[in-house]
Amino acid sequence: MILANARLPEGGFADLEIAGGLIAALHAPGSADPAGERIDLAGALVLPALVDGHIHLDKTHWGAPRLPHVEGRGVRERIAAERVERHRVALPIEARAAALIRALIANGTTRARSHVDIDNDVGLANLEAVLRVRDAFRDWIDIQLVAFPQSGVTTEKGAPDLIAAALSAGADLVGGLDPAGFDGDVKGQLDIVFGLAERFGKGIDIHLHDSGKTGAAELRDIAERTIAAGMQGRVAVSHAFALGSIVPDVFAETADTLARAEVAIMTSCPPSAPVPPVGRLRARGVTLFAGSDNIRDCWSPYGNGDMLDRAAIIAERHAMFTDRELEHAFALATSEADKALGGPRRGLRAGAVADLVVVAAASVADAVIDRPPRSLVLRAGRIAAENSVAAAALQEVAIA
Ligand SMILES: [Zn+2]
């Protein structure tokens, strides 16, 4: 396949030759061998496909009728609401997760990390459902699954055994939740999380809403344990709201520790909390990546699974106005997210996997500001979506 007259993110134009699922070569416009399928992009911008670094495929109500949001702030109140609400959702997890995956792909996302609830209420049922969906869509999207102890680690009896069972069943990472704020036992929870990660040879991604000095101390603890375990580059902390609410010297010390340990920070940039300052963390060498987090579920009625939208939300919140800053916001949902997730980096170069998204935009900065429809999405060189609609093949995916 030739994608002719493609505008490149770094500027200039090329004919992209796609073969064997890869970008085989970049030719000067008009010089590619015309044999095979040829799609004329007429100057549209070709970008690496997007990455959603944090979703909850088991929680989403996508595809089901909206349930009015139950009042109540804070992690505990939301968990209580969810325990009631999950029995009211009209569709099974498989149908909702599949519907959301089609939406992600239609928006140009071909790699994602989903946390999946593991607790005594649901056992491994949510994970088993999401594993079936992941398997069904394997050819279209790479999905990492985090065994997420939504009801706590030390305060939920049997949680460590459930997480171990989840890892044996196919989960890729060990999750965690507010060691101080939820379990009230930082050492206890982190001993278990890091112990399971070492035992199973898996990475870690911890939900950390704990704010201020407490949260910052937990971040440094996580970073130090990461170095001690030799897990640099395989640990992430999601939210890390503390980074948005600490004084400058504590911030500098914490950020430097995270950078040294190569602990990545995921931000969804919610309006309801202080958030990690993207530019200041980047300046200190911390890897940041972006995720949607809750999409139309008990935790949030918002979200659309569009990572160009997420990049724009992050850029606007942090007053990222220059083209360089907008390119950085875009990188949080592409190259930096690939790095954080430990996957091969996609890009517009010969030999890279042909996971690509095409938009009518003059530059990366324009794409973030305009969030144009995705005119074409390729997954390993196959057409996965056109005009922001998932291809027929994705509608027909059967879940075992
Ligand atoms: Zn989350």
Å from CA of 237 to ligand 1 middle:
10
Going 376 to 379 to 384 to 390, the CA torsion angle's sign is negative
Å from CA of 294 to ligand 1 middle:
6
Å from CA of 60 to ligand 1 middle:
11
Task: State the average pLDDT over residues 159-168.
Answer: 98
Going 98 to 104 to 108 to 111, the CA torsion angle's sign is negative
Å from CA of 274 to ligand 1 middle:
16
Å from CA of 238 to ligand 1 middle:
7
Å from CA of 44 to ligand 1 middle:
34
Å from CA of 382 to ligand 1 middle:
31
Residues counted in the chain: 400
Is the confidence at residue 140, as pLDDT, over 80?
yes
Å from CA of 52 to ligand 1 middle:
12
Q: Which has the minimum average pLDDT: 111-115, 269-273, 308-312, 352-356?
A: 269-273
Structure confidence at residue 32 as a pLDDT band (50, 70, 90): confident
Using one digit for the tens of pLDDT, what is the confidence trace for 87-137?
889 899 999 999 999 999 999 999 999 999 999 999 999 999 999 999 999
Is the confidence at residue 35, as pLDDT, over 90?
no
Task: State the average pLDDT over residues 16-26.
Answer: 96
Å from CA of 396 to ligand 1 middle:
29
Å from CA of 58 to ligand 1 middle:
11
Strands of the chain, DSSP E: 2-7, 13-19, 22-27, 38-40, 45-48, 50-55, 109-117, 142-148, 173-177, 203-208, 235-239, 264-267, 288-290, 356-359, 374-379, 382-386, 389-390
In this prediction, residue 165 carries a pLDDT of 98
Residues near 183 by beta carbon (within 8 Å), at least 6 away in sequence: 152, 153, 154, 155, 177, 189
Using one digit for the tens of pLDDT, what is the confidence trace for 66-101?
999 998 888 889 888 888 888 889 899 999 999 999
| pLDDT, mean over the chain | 96
Å from CA of 102 to ligand 1 middle:
20
- The secondary element (H helix, E strand) that includes residue 129 is helix 125-136
Distance between CA atoms of 394 and 388, rounded to whole angstroms?
13
Using one digit for the tens of pLDDT, what is the confidence trace for 45-69?
999 999 999 999 999 999 999 999 9
Å from CA of 151 to ligand 1 middle:
13
Å from CA of 146 to ligand 1 middle:
10
